[in-house]
């Protein structure tokens, strides 16, 4: 017996590394006319590396600053947190234990370390955002996070990430296929977002977005009459994914919440599977009707 056409298409998508959670997901994917991408972990490999540490407080040595940051980040599953922990390990630093760990998606972490409250957070909303340390890193296209100890900024950690090799071609393919300009929605800073958009061929960028603001950005596009696919990997992308016409998650590196919230999973983290799945979805529509 031959497989029903729709199931055959879904199985075919599966062979290409696209997990469709339902037939409706396939149909919705075929209807998409704008694709919105998250940045970190989606268009980039999501494995940022610490490239510089700047001290803002003369009484704390650089190694101690990194050790405090790593202590606060130890419970983090965010790529920035993992990079800070890895960096401390590479430098063989003694990382003190931490308690009261709290992660705030789109902002950063906080923990108690040796009686002090240590935060590692986005510079947004901090007075230190005005300092040259953060601005210089951001202008170079890096992500800068601030290490705050007992409410006072003590230093800046700068990180750099690499663009996924297939990202520019995928952005171009989806633009052509959907007839709509892909957009970048990110919680990262404007300069880092602009640098990444430039390298991947994206013209429209919204940066500095909190998770709910990402969802609002998707809603704005939908209010303008678009059917939006949101492609993301993080907990911070879940509200936008739930808002979108169809949510697409990175399967391998993506967080559990992202893969659970999504309608479509790119099982191999390979972005080229996405335009292929959109094309398959359109073919399925023709087959079924």
By the criterion CB under 6 A, which residues form the site for ligand ADP? 38-41, 73, 76, 78, 80-81, 103, 106-109, 120-122, 143, 145, 186-188, 234, 236
Whole-number Å distance between alpha carbons of 134 and 128: 8
Nearest to 227 by CA among 34, 36, 37: 34
| Residue 126 host element (H or E) | none
Identify which of residues 187 and 281 has a Cβ nearer to ligand ADP in the complex: 187
Identify which of residues 73 and 233 has a Cβ nearer to Mg ion in the complex: 233
Identify which of residues 81 and 247 has a Cβ nearer to ligand ADP in the complex: 81
Considering the rule CB under 5 A, would residue 211 count as an interface residue with Mg ion?
A: no
Detail the DSSP E strand segments found in 122-274: 143-149, 152-160, 183-185, 204-206, 228-232, 246-250, 264-266
The tokens describing 42, both together, are 């989606």
Q: Is 201 exposed, middle or buried (0-12, 13-18, 19+ CB in 10 A)?
A: middle
Q: Is 232 exposed, middle or buried (0-12, 13-18, 19+ CB in 10 A)?
A: buried
Considering the rule CB under 5 A, would residue 41 count as an interface residue with Mg ion?
A: yes
Whole-number Å distance between alpha carbons of 5 and 26: 13
Choose the one of Mg ion, ligand ADP, none that binds residue 272, judging by a C-beta under 5 to 8 angstroms depending on kind. none
Considering the rule CB under 5 A, would residue 233 count as an interface residue with Mg ion?
A: yes
Taking the complex as a whole, the smallest distance from the CB of residue 185 to ligand ADP amounts, in Å, to 7
Taking the complex as a whole, the smallest distance from the CB of residue 78 to Mg ion amounts, in Å, to 9
Size of the site for Mg ion (CB under 5 A): 5
The tokens describing 135, both together, are 């601005």
Sheet with 18-20: strands ordered across = 18-20, 264-266, 246-250, 228-232, 34-37, 183-185, 204-206
Taking the complex as a whole, the smallest distance from the CB of residue 232 to ligand ADP amounts, in Å, to 7
Any idea which residues carry the catalytic annotation?
38
Q: In this structure, are strands 264-266 and 246-250 parallel, antiparallel, or unpaired?
A: parallel
Identify which of residues 254 and 281 has a Cβ nearer to ligand ADP in the complex: 254
- The stretch among 125-133, 190-198, 205-213, 232-240 that binds Mg ion (CB under 5 A) is 232-240
Considering the rule CB under 5 A, would residue 38 count as an interface residue with Mg ion?
A: yes
Identify which of residues 214 and 276 has a Cβ nearer to ligand ADP in the complex: 214
Query: Which residue of this chain has its Cβ atom nearest to ligand ADP in the complex?
Result: 187
Region of 174 (left: φ > 0; alpha: ψ -120 to 50; beta: rest) is: alpha
Considering the rule CB under 5 A, would residue 239 count as an interface residue with Mg ion?
A: no
Choose the one of Mg ion, ligand ADP, none that binds residue 106, judging by a C-beta under 5 to 8 angstroms depending on kind. ligand ADP
Taking the complex as a whole, the smallest distance from the CB of residue 139 to ligand ADP amounts, in Å, to 15
Whole-number Å distance between alpha carbons of 78 and 235: 9
List the one residue from 105, 123, 175, 234 that touches Mg ion (CB under 5 A): 234
Cα 176 from chain centre: 24
Instruction: Give the total residue count for the chain.
Output: 289
Identify which of residues 74 and 226 has a Cβ nearer to ligand ADP in the complex: 74
Taking the complex as a whole, the smallest distance from the CB of residue 263 to ligand ADP amounts, in Å, to 19
Binding site for Mg ion (CB under 5 A): 38, 40-41, 233-234
């Amino acid at each position: 017996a031959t497989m029903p056409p729709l199931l055959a298409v879904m199985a075919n998508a599966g062979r290409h590394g696209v997990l469709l959670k339902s037939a409706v997901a396939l149909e919705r994917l075929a209807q998409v006319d704008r694709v919105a991408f998250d940045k970190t972990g989606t268009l980039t490999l999501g494995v940022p590396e610490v490239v510089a540490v700047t001290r803002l407080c003369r009484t704390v040595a650089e190694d101690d600053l990194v050790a405090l940051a790593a202590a606060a980040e130890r419970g983090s599953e965010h790529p920035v947190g993992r990079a800070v922990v890895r960096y401390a390990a590479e430098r063989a630093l003694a990382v003190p234990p931490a308690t009261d760990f709290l992660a705030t998606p789109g902002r950063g972490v906080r923990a108690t370390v040796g009686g002090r409250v240590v935060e590692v957070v986005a510079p947004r909303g901090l007075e230190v955002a005005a300092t040259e340390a953060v601005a210089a890193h951001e202008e170079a296209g890096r992500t800068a996070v601030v290490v705050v100890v007992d409410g006072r900024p003590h230093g800046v950690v700068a990180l750099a990430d690499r663009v996924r090799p297939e990202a520019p071609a995928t952005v171009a393919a989806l633009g052509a296929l959907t007839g709509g300009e892909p957009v970048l929605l990110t919680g990262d800073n404007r300069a880092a977002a602009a640098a990444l958009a430039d390298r991947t061929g994206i013209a429209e960028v919204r940066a500095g977005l909190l998770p709910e603001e990402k969802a609002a950005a998707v809603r704005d596009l939908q209010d303008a009459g678009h059917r939006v696919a949101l492609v993301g990997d993080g907990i911070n992308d879940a509200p936008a994914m739930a808002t979108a016409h169809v949510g697409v998650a990175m399967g391998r590196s993506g967080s559990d919440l992202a893969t659970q919230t999504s309608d479509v999973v790119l099982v191999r983290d390979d972005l080229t599977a996405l335009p292929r799945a959109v094309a398959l979805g359109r073919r399925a529509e023709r087959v079924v009707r």
